[in-house]
Amino acid sequence: MSITDDKRSIESAREPEALLPLFEAYLAYLSDQRRAAALTLESYGSDLWRLQHLLEGREPALIGPHDVRRFVARLHGEGLGGRSIGRVLSAWRGFYRWLVRHHGLPTNPVAHVRPPRSLQRLPQVLSQEQSKALLDAQADEPLDVRDRAMFELFYSSGLRVAELAGLDVGAGLDLVEGLVTVTGKRGKTRIVPVGGIATECLGKWISQRPAYLRGPDEPALFVTRTGTRLSPSAIRSRLASWAVRSGLGIHVYPHMLRHSFATHMLQESGDLRAVQELLGHASIRSTQVYTHLDFQHLAKVYDSAHPRARKSG
């Protein structure tokens, strides 16, 4: 099928949520062929709708690099930061790469367009003391056994929320060996150790899980009180509530536990490559941000411990 076969008028997308057929086809490709996570598809859909809006009725295949740079200038003028624009460009770049490979587009107009520079934001992390306070919070409700198992596994193994939500019973979780196998971004599978406390909590939840199932065919490891798979958004909500109960006084979200896992592992081991493998990062550059956090930790230790760290006077 050629690009001309897929051309449609913008009139087919009168509703703001409706995407052009080419965009819909690309999202279907990401879902079916690349096995992209639901959150990734939602994010890409938003970025493609932004492109559709900027096209102002023109066909996606008929723009060039100068158009893309003008779009970037508009987004920047609307207050979008460099990191956010970079994410948008990544979605657009993938879309046009797909057009080149599968629909005969001669060149990718986004290939050499870069976002404006912005200051690098370091990820938010919990201290080791805060992590302990969070995970040791009082558990009184019936489903607290499930929640504690989820959060211990988050922090123990550095999983993404979509990876945790997608876990099934009897597939990927080995409590005897203390290992969990997950499928991450771009369908990449990795095996991650599970700590002893997390293993114990998971065993308790698995023994109670059948009481919540509608039937024996539900494969999800973590289920709701009505027996269906717990969604990523529900997991975020439960973690936020758990953090309030712990008395930390800060908002805690799943990726913060992943960041905390990586930072504490690096502080204790100093092995950046091992942390990269555990996180499932394709590039070491994605993992290097934790070296900055580790340096901050070391600097604080130095300032508090070295006899010549403080200025005289």
Q: How do the domains of the chain map onto residue ranges?
A: 3-103, 128-304
- Residue owning tokens 């060149």: 107
Type of residue found at 285: R
**DSSP code at position 188:** -
Q: Which of 163, 155, 161, 122 is nearest to 260 (CA)?
A: 155
End-to-end Cα separation, the chain, in angstroms: 77
Q: What are the counts of helices (DSSP H) followed by strands (DSSP E) for the chain?
A: 14, 3
Spatial strand order in the sheet of 189-193: 173-174, 179-183, 189-193
The set of catalytic residues is 160, 185, 255, 258, 281, 290
Helix axis angle for 65-77 and 38-55, nearest 10°, is 100
DSSP E strands in 194-271: the ranges are none
Rounded (5°) CA angle 172-136-252: 75
DSSP string, 43-103: HHHHHHHHHHHHHTT--GGG--HHHHHHHHHHHHHTT--HHHHHHHHHHHHHHHHHHHHHH
pTM of this prediction exceeds 0.85: no
pLDDT tens per residue across all 313 residues of the chain: 333 333 333 233 333 457 889 999 999 999 999 899 888 999 999 999 999 999 999 999 999 999 999 999 889 888 888 888 999 999 999 999 999 999 999 999 999 998 887 655 667 888 889 999 999 887 778 799 999 999 999 998 889 899 999 999 988 899 998 999 888 777 788 888 899 999 999 999 999 999 999 878 899 999 999 999 999 999 999 999 999 988 888 999 998 888 888 888 877 777 777 777 777 777 767 666 666 555 555 445 445 554 544 555 4
What values do phi and psi take at 60, rounded to 5? -55, -30
> Which CATH number applies to 128-304?
1.10.443.10
* 1.20.1050, 1.10.3470, 3.40.1350, 1.10.150: CATH of 3-103: 1.10.150
